[in-house]
Amino acid sequence: MKKLWKCYYYASEGVDYVTDFSINHFLSKDSAEYELLLFDCLSTPSMRLYSEGSTVTRFKKIEALADYPIARRHLFSCAFSGENCGRCEKCTRNLLSLDLLGKLDQFSKVYDIDFYKSHRARYINYLYINRKDHYFEELYGLFMERGDADLRQVRGFMKLVKRFDALWGMDQPDSDRKAVALLSPYESENYRAAIRMAKAYETGRGVLPSEERRRACLELVADHYREEVSSGFEMSRIGLFDALWKLNDPDSYGEMLSVLYPLARIERPRACVRIARMYMEGRGVEKDPDSAVEWMRKSPASRNKFALEYCGMLLATDSEENHAEAVDLCIERFDETGDPELCVLISGILSEGKGSVRDMDAAVDWMRKAYAAQPNTYCWQYADILMKSGRDIDFYEVINVCFKLYDRHGSSKACEVISDIYRLGRGVEKDTNAAVAWMGKAAELEPVKYVRRYESVLDAAGAPRYYAEAAGMCRSRLEDGGSPAFSALLARLCRDGRGVEKDLGEAVRLMRAAYKWRPQWYAKEYVGILLESGDEFGVAEAARVVGSDLGLVDDPAHCSAIGDAYRLGKGVEKDLDKAVAWMGKAESKDSRYLGDYCDLLMSIGDQKSYAEVLRACRKDAKKRAAPESMAIIARLYRDGRGVEKNMKESVAWMRGAMAQDPDKYRSEFVGILFESGRDQDVEEAAGLCKGRYDQVADPGMCAKISHLYHEGKGVGADQEEAVDWMRRAMSLDPDGYSEAYYSLVAKTGPVGLDGFLDECKASYESTGFASYALIIASIYRDGNGVPKDPDLAARWMEKAVFTDPPGDFLGYCRFMESLGDPYAIAAVERCERHYDETKDKAVCKTISEMYRTGTGVKKDIRKASEWMGRCWGV
């Protein structure tokens, strides 16, 4: 082939190689910018490559070719396909050039001229957007000279857009309103207006925020680009993707991927950047910073236009090499551009030690550069990094920065930071007075934002005088018109008696004022204070507010509180139906209130309530497999409440609860297995108990195994084993199982009684537990391992009952009756003497019962009534 060509002339892009030629950072540039050097490197001794026609513009070249017959049949310019698509940038440029020359129809064999004419407005719009681009600048000027009507119309509307952007950039309420007034009439018909109005509805600048209208605007933008994509404008895929990205609807993630795929497949830079974002945020694909980095690297703009975003992706990976690349790229770009945002990123990298050794001094220095370049923009990031350094000298610099911000702009945030520094004593001497005063300034400047912070500083200070000062400030501001935030703060002070006399009525009045001022902000607090007031009006008003259209019915805490008020009759007439209704609302919004709801229904105790408990718990168990709900269902089946008793179902539900939370429900599950009485269930219970003991030596499991052997369930009855297992339980938890151990030994008779009485007495002496005295009394009465001794039995029984607090008087009398009449008579006399000495009404009922039944005394109904009257204070 080299014998056929000696020279190859490449049509130059028309780049200015004289006044703006540089090979710095050439990898991120279009190769046309350095093709002079590139072609020389690619040339060989037998064939030279030349960049030709660099002094002639693209339009002039088309003009020269326009009358060339071969060009009219074979001109090819497309960047996308094997034949001219008529939509890409190169085809667009040629079509606009031919339009200017009036030669469109002559090129109908190489371009779809009918399509161009039917979509001419779109081409003209593209020309206007790119009017400052090197390749379109000349064309735009020529169209303007010709006075093109379509361009004039586009230009007229774009003046409105440009004016909007200028006003919006001022970031002032008045300018925002003016900006919105310019484009709001066009938001439903022009995609450029819709893009900007979507931003206004999102931020609430110049217009009330509205998610519905924001989405409507973005849907219009998406439909505009969908139409362009369907017409073959490939690069409109980017606009469609961006609109769908802002909508952020998971149902559209598939469309986002399919829209970008044709461009990403051929590695179009802007498409690669957007695929990278999808991987970075996990939209439509699994989140993967490494894949995001790979896609971003496919875009040449990753190292210039998108350098900040690319660095963020590099830092999100776990690769130290990527971190180091981010550091180098940031420094490189800063040297080129001086962009202070790069200083911020470098500072963050150094403060975290990513890609380099952590260096707070260097981090502060880099942030200082950003602050020096744009003080208003980076003042708070500078303050944050200074405080992050932790050095007093840096805190001192922060406070000076904040003083300047307060003096120049009246910054409320500056007041907050100054207050915090004085409160902590960092860089300055700790000063509570100054901390309170500066936070008070912040609250006065922005009450809604800082009154709560002001209140927390007051609480930290703790001195009554600060609360009094705060109350005075609130009253003063309220007299001047004030803010609901001050009314709410004064209400809290009155509610708690901080700095003012406690007055719930005044607290309700003040919070009601705040609520009427800003219902959405203060409804919850208003309801809380109403419920705390505890009167009938308060609870009824709270119920009205919660049931209003403020969305507070979604607050389960308030619904629960109102339910409690009706359940207890607190401030309102007791009404269990209303209590159930309100508690049901709480439970329907938050499953954490299911337990309270079920407790309320269970306390009512009828089958209808039990059935509702079963329904609510079944629903909760199905929704989130909650072990608490499963356990309640198991108990209902066990007891036959709200449903027919069914131990098999009870076992199944409690098994589910134990599977979710073994430690909490194992013991109860074992109990239900025992209670079911089925051999396989009892055997399973025995296996669970022994297995649990082998794992953690659980005293509860030892006790259950003891009961198994004692009752002969699942294992052969064996009293020695029963005593042995209960002894193990006692050794693991003496306080919890000593009584059970001694009680079991006493029941078993002679088995295990060697030395038992002495152990029991020693335990009584060391603990004073009445249960030990009761066991000893029973042993002497029954003669278990010792001779029967009613006197000792009576003496130990008195120790068991006449304690502080006293024990079961009726049981005492019944026990003494079992010893014989003399002891029964003595028991009644002892009870009467106890009443004379202590006026303990608890004993009156027992004495009344003795006279009523004639136990230990002569039966006497009159005396029985007298003693019962003493019991009730009659």
Q: Report which listed range, 52-61, 211-220, 350-359, 444-453, is most confident.
A: 211-220
749: pLDDT strictly greater than 70: no
Residue count (the chain):
874
Residue where the block lists tokens 């190169």: 90
- Burial pattern 360-383, b for ≥16 Cβ within 10 A else e, equals bebbbebbbbbbeeeeeebbbbbb
Residue where the block lists tokens 């001109």: 75
**pLDDT (average), residues 624-638:** 89
Taking only the tens place, the pLDDT of each residue in 272-305 is: 999 999 999 999 999 999 999 999 999 888 888 8
677-752: CATH number: 1.25.40
Supply 516's token pair.
């009427």
713: pLDDT strictly greater than 60: yes
Taking only the tens place, the pLDDT of each residue in 785-795 is: 778 888 888 88
Q: Do domains 392-462 and 677-752 have the same CATH topology?
A: yes
Percent of the chain beyond pLDDT 70? 94
Taking only the tens place, the pLDDT of each residue in 133-186 is: 888 999 999 999 999 999 999 999 999 999 999 999 988 889 999 999 999 999
Lowest-confidence pick of 76-85, 230-239, 322-331, 543-552: 543-552
Query: In this predicted model, which residue has the larger pLDDT, 619 or 763?
Result: 619
Residue 101: the pLDDT is: 93
Residue 246: the pLDDT is: 95
The ranges assigned to domains in the chain are 7-153, 392-462, 677-752
Give start and end residues of each alpha helix (H) in 184-268: 191-203, 211-230, 236-247, 253-265
330 touches 346 (CB < 8 A): yes
The listed CATH number (2.40.70, 1.10.10, 3.30.70, 1.25.40) that belongs to domain 392-462: 1.25.40
The DSSP symbol for 135 reads T
Residue 751: the pLDDT is: 46
Average pLDDT of the chain to the nearest whole number: 85
Residue where the block lists tokens 């007055």: 503
For residues 553 and 640, give the distance between their C-alpha atoms in angstroms, rounded to a whole number. Answer: 34
Residue 28: the pLDDT is: 56
**pLDDT (average), residues 358-364:** 87
DSSP string for residues in 457-520: HHHHH--HHHHHHHHHHHHHHHHTT--HHHHHHHHHHHHHTSSS---HHHHHHHHHHHHHHSHH
Of the chain, the end-to-end C-alpha distance in Å amounts to 127
Q: Which residues pair with 48 in a beta bridge?
A: 7
Smallest CA-to-CA distance from 379 within 401, 346, 410 is with 401
CA distances from 23 to 12, 32, 297, 305, 643 (A): 17, 11, 20, 17, 85
pLDDT band at 571 (very low <50, low <70, confident <90, very high): low
Smallest CA-to-CA distance from 686 within 661, 712, 657 is with 712
Residue 696: the pLDDT is: 74
pLDDT band at 30 (very low <50, low <70, confident <90, very high): low
SS3 readout for 697-742:
CCHHHHHHHHHHHHHCCCCCCCHHHHHHHHHHHHHHCHHHHHHHHH
For residues 854 and 842, give the distance between their C-alpha atoms in angstroms, rounded to a whole number. Answer: 19
Residues ≥6 apart with Cβ < 8 Å to 199: 205
Smallest CA-to-CA distance from 689 within 666, 710, 711, 709 is with 666
Taking only the tens place, the pLDDT of each residue in 295-336 is: 999 988 888 888 889 999 998 998 988 988 888 888 888 888
